[in-house]
């Protein structure tokens, strides 16, 4: 588990694999601990938005008896993105570490 903390809001907990994917989408290495300084948050959020807007390769597979996909990266990232936006507004850093 990875815990994201800031004085700007409540802690956000994520599984390691999901946190790693979100951190990479925000332009960070999936390290066990780190920090987003207030001045870095705008660029991180912009990178996340740009990556989400990029077209994804489509599968040429036939629809079958597949299970529906689970939550996407944007849905999993929403609580952290909200915390980052609040932290940026209040000029607070967001740190993360293993929980």
Does residue 33 lie in a domain region?
yes
Does residue 60 lie in a domain region?
no
Does residue 61 lie in a domain region?
no
Residue 65 reports pLDDT greater than 70: no
Does residue 14 lie in a domain region?
yes
Nearest of 16, 25, 2, 18 to residue 94 by alpha carbon: 2
pLDDT in tens, 20-40: 999 999 999 999 999 999 999
Does residue 32 lie in a domain region?
yes
* Total count of domains within the chain: 1
How much is the pLDDT for 66?
66
Q: pTM score > 0.75 for this model?
A: yes
Average pLDDT over residues 84-88: 97
CA 82 to chain centre: 10
Average pLDDT over residues 69-86: 90
Helix (H) or strand (E) holding 96: strand 94-98
Average pLDDT over residues 70-82: 90
SS3 4: strand
Does residue 82 lie in a domain region?
yes
The Cα–Cα gap between 97 and 50 comes to 26
Does residue 13 lie in a domain region?
yes
| DSSP state for residue 70 in the 8-state scheme | -
Sign of CA dihedral 18, 26, 79, 52: negative
Domain hosting 7: range is 2-52+73-98
How much is the pLDDT for 58?
55
């Amino acid at each position: 588990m990875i815990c994201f903390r800031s004085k700007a809001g409540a802690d956000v907990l994520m599984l390691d694999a999901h946190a790693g994917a979100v951190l990479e989408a925000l332009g960070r290495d999936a390290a066990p601990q780190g920090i987003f300084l207030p001045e870095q948050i705008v660029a991180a959020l912009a990178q996340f938005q740009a990556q989400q807007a990029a077209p994804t390769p489509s599968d040429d597979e036939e629809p079958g008896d597949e299970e529906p996909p689970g939550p996407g990266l944007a849905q999993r990232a929403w609580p952290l993105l909200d915390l980052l936006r609040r932290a940026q507004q209040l000029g607070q850093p967001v740190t993360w570490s293993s929980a």
